[in-house]
A and B are shown apart, each in its own frame.
Chain A
Amino acid sequence: GQQVMQIPQYQHVQEGEDFTTYCNSSTTLSNIQWYKQRPGGHPVFLIQLVKSGEVKKQKRLTFQFGEAKKNSSLHITATQTTDVGTYFCAGPPTLTGGGNKLTFGTGTQLKVEL
């Protein structure tokens, strides 16, 4: 079945440093979604990318969808303590043989130190 891996699993940064998490799928994705889960909270949808090579920005967050639609990245510029949490990517496969449900990545836990 479809597998979605994220690296790194954990990242500690100093406030103000940049952060990037990478998402890699074993199958081609029809779209990629990103979610953020604050400590003690539940995942909250951030954004969805659909097109090959698409780039979207939300303030200090930049999201990219790979040309082959099998990978994605989330980059945060100048991290703040409010960025703390776990970031998950998620995507459904394009081929029905890989299943038709959204599969979540393994997640990257971000800690920001003052």
Chain B
Amino acid sequence: GAGVSQSPSNKVTEKGKDVELRCDPISGHTALYWYRQSLGQGLEFLIYFQGNSAPDKSGLPSDRFSAERTGGSVSTLTIQRTQQEDSAVYLCASSLLTYSEQFFGPGTRLTVL
């Protein structure tokens, strides 16, 4: 595709369940970021992948959050034992190089009941 895609677009889950969010970056982009955005708030950095380097996980809020990027392309963000405070929009972005412009996906709106 031409842009960054994310799935699902909406996810409603019950507290305590695990969820997986998927991001398909633009082909050839080496950098991939995950952000979390609560309503009316800024972008909270979660994790960053750059090529084959070890990911920067410094933004993950707890050990319930993890992410992987397979083959330098698709990325999955996993949240285990979801809590209500995990409810937010999760945005993925990719860029050609580390410092170049980021292209954002449409986001996944997660609601934890």
Write out, one digit per residue, whether chain A residues 87-100 have a CB within 8 A of any chain B CB (1) or not (0).
Answer: 01010100000011
A103 and B106 alpha carbons, distance in the complex (Å): 20
Write out, one digit per residue, whether chain B residues 5-22 have a CB within 8 A of any chain A CB (1) or not (0).
Answer: 000000000000000000
A35 and B35 alpha carbons, distance in the complex (Å): 15
Q: Taking the complex as formed, is A33 at the interface, i.e. its CB lies under 8 A from any CB of chain B?
A: yes
Q: Which residue of A lies closest to B48 (CB)?
A: A101
Cβ A104 vs Cβ B43 within 8 A:
yes
Q: Which residue of B lies closest to A33 (CB)?
A: B101
Interface residues on A, range: 20 to 34
Write out, one digit per residue, whether chain A residues 74-87 have a CB within 8 A of any chain B CB (1) or not (0).
Answer: 00000000000010
Residues of chain A lying within 8 A (CB to CB) of residue B106: 42
* Nearest CB in chain B: distance from A4 CB, A: 10
A105 and B42 alpha carbons, distance in the complex (Å): 8
Cβ B104 vs Cβ A31 within 8 A:
no
User: A11-19, A43-51, A62-70: which one contacts chain B?
Assistant: A43-51
Q: Which one, B42, B91, B98, contacts A106 given CB within 8 A?
A: B42
Cβ A92 vs Cβ B98 within 8 A:
yes
Q: Which one, B43, B95, B107, contacts A88 given CB within 8 A?
A: B43
Max chain A C-beta neighbours (<10 A), residue from B58, B95, B101, B107: B101
Report B60-103 residues with CB < 8 Å from chain A CB.
Answer: 91, 93, 95, 98-103
**A residues at B contact (CB < 8 Å):** 1, 30-31, 33, 35, 42-45, 48, 86, 88, 90, 92, 99-107, 109
Given contacts A35-B102, A101-B48, A101-B98, 15 further A-B contacts (CB under 8 A): A42-B105, A42-B107, A44-B104, A45-B103, A48-B100, A90-B102, A99-B56, A99-B58, A100-B56, A100-B98, A101-B45, A101-B56, A106-B42, A107-B42, A109-B40
